[in-house]
Chains A and B, each alone.
Chain A
Amino acid sequence: MSAGDVPRQRTAAERSWTARLRTRAEGALPPEKLLPDRQPAYVASWIYVFGALTIAALITIVASGMVLGLKGPAWWHVTGIGRFFNGIHLWSVELFFFAMVVHLWGKFWMGAWRGGRSLTWVAGAVTFLISIATAFTGYLSQQNFDAQWISTQAKDGLNSVGIGAFFNVTNFGQMYTFHVILLPVAVVLLTAWHVLLVRRNGVVPPYVRALAAERAARAEERA
Chain B
Amino acid sequence: MMASARDAAPPWRGPYRSYDIVKEVAICLAVVAALATLLTILFSSPDERPSTIAQWSRVQPVDFLTTATAELDGSSDTAGYGPPYNHAATGQVIGPIHLQSWLGVSHPINTAVDYVLAPLATIPNAPALRAQIRQYVAAPPRQRSAWTDAYTKALERAGAHGTAVTVSPAGAGPVAPMMASLLSLAQAGGLDGALLTSRQFYQTDYTKPLLFMADGSLLSDRAEAQHLLGDQWGMMNETGSYPGQVWLWLYTFWYQVEPFKSSDNADALVWALMMLLSLAFVCVPFIPGVRSLPRWIPIYRLIWREHYRSQAGGAAS
Count of B residues near A, CB < 8 Å? Answer: 106
Q: Which of A37, A90, A125, A217 contacts B284 (CB 8 A)?
A: A125
Query: With a CB–CB cut-off of 8 A, which chain A residues contact B282?
Result: 122, 125-126, 129
A148-B50 in contact (CB<8A): yes
Query: With a CB–CB cut-off of 8 A, which chain A residues contact B210?
Result: 148, 151-152, 170
Query: With a CB–CB cut-off of 8 A, which chain B residues contact A148?
Result: 50-51, 210, 213, 219
Query: With a CB–CB cut-off of 8 A, which chain A residues contact B14?
Result: 40-42
Please report whether the interface of chain A is mostly helix, strand, loop or mixed according to DSSP.
Answer: helix
Query: With a CB–CB cut-off of 8 A, which chain A residues contact B47?
Result: 76-77, 83, 86, 142, 144
Instruction: A144-B47, A150-B235, A222-B316 are known; give 17 further A-B pairs, CB within 8 A.
Output: A39-B16, A47-B303, A53-B32, A60-B29, A92-B32, A111-B295, A111-B300, A115-B11, A129-B278, A129-B281, A139-B245, A146-B48, A146-B238, A159-B83, A159-B100, A168-B205, A215-B312
Instruction: Give Cα A219–Cα B84 distance, bound, in whole angstroms.
Output: 69
B274 nearest in chain A by CB position: A157
B10-A208 in contact (CB<8A): yes
| Interface presence of B17 (CB below 8 A) | yes
B24 nearest in chain A by CB position: A52
Segment 201-221 of A: residues with Cβ below 8 Å from B = 202, 204-211, 214-215, 217-219, 221
Query: With a CB–CB cut-off of 8 A, which chain B residues contact A154?
Result: 235
A160-B271 in contact (CB<8A): yes
B304 nearest in chain A by CB position: A206
A206-B308 in contact (CB<8A): yes
| Interface presence of B104 (CB below 8 A) | yes
Within the complex, what minimum Cβ distance (angstroms) separates A141 from chain B? 11
Instruction: Give Cα A90–Cα B99 distance, bound, in whole angstroms.
Output: 34
Within the complex, what minimum Cβ distance (angstroms) separates A22 from chain B? 23
B10-A95 in contact (CB<8A): no
Instruction: Give Cα A132–Cα B246 distance, bound, in whole angstroms.
Output: 10
Query: With a CB–CB cut-off of 8 A, which chain A residues contact B12?
Result: 40, 42, 202, 205
**Given known contacts A52-B28, A77-B47, A144-B50, is B204 in contact with A174 (CB within 8 Å)?**
yes
Query: With a CB–CB cut-off of 8 A, which chain B residues contact A106?
Result: 303
In this complex, the member of A76, A122, A145, A204 whose beta carbon has the largest number of chain B beta carbons within 10 angstroms is A145
Instruction: Give Cα A160–Cα B19 distance, bound, in whole angstroms.
Output: 50
Instruction: Give Cα A106–Cα B91 distance, bound, in whole angstroms.
Output: 41
A161-B48 in contact (CB<8A): no
Instruction: Give Cα A208–Cα B9 distance, bound, in whole angstroms.
Output: 7
Query: With a CB–CB cut-off of 8 A, which chain B residues contact A144?
Result: 46-50
**Given known contacts A151-B210, A214-B311, is B15 in contact with A115 (CB within 8 Å)?**
no
B291-A162 in contact (CB<8A): no
Query: With a CB–CB cut-off of 8 A, which chain B residues contact A211?
Result: 308, 311
A41-B15 in contact (CB<8A): yes
Instruction: Give Cα A129–Cα B50 distance, bound, in whole angstroms.
Output: 29
B29-A214 in contact (CB<8A): no
The size bracket of the interface on A is 35 or more
Instruction: Give Cα A217–Cα B311 distance, bound, in whole angstroms.
Output: 12
Residues 31-69 of chain B: 1 if any A CB is under 8 Å from the residue's CB, otherwise 0? Answer: 111011101100111111111000000000000000000
Query: With a CB–CB cut-off of 8 A, which chain A residues contact B228?
Result: 149, 153
Query: With a CB–CB cut-off of 8 A, which chain B residues contact A219?
Result: 315
Instruction: Give Cα A117–Cα B30 distance, bound, in whole angstroms.
Output: 30
Instruction: Give Cα A114–Cα B281 distance, bound, in whole angstroms.
Output: 16
A–B complex contacts, Cβ < 8 Å, 14 sampled: A40-B15, A60-B33, A111-B291, A117-B285, A122-B285, A153-B234, A159-B91, A159-B267, A161-B267, A162-B99, A162-B103, A173-B204, A202-B12, A205-B9
Query: With a CB–CB cut-off of 8 A, which chain B residues contact A204?
Result: 9
Instruction: Give Cα A110–Cα B307 distance, bound, in whole angstroms.
Output: 13
Query: With a CB–CB cut-off of 8 A, which chain B residues contact A143?
Result: 50
A40-B16 in contact (CB<8A): yes
B83-A165 in contact (CB<8A): yes
B17 nearest in chain A by CB position: A41
B245-A160 in contact (CB<8A): no
| Interface presence of A193 (CB below 8 A) | no
B307-A101 in contact (CB<8A): no
Within the complex, what minimum Cβ distance (angstroms) separates A6 from chain B? 39
Q: Which of B33, B211, B219, B298 contacts A170 (CB 8 A)?
A: B211
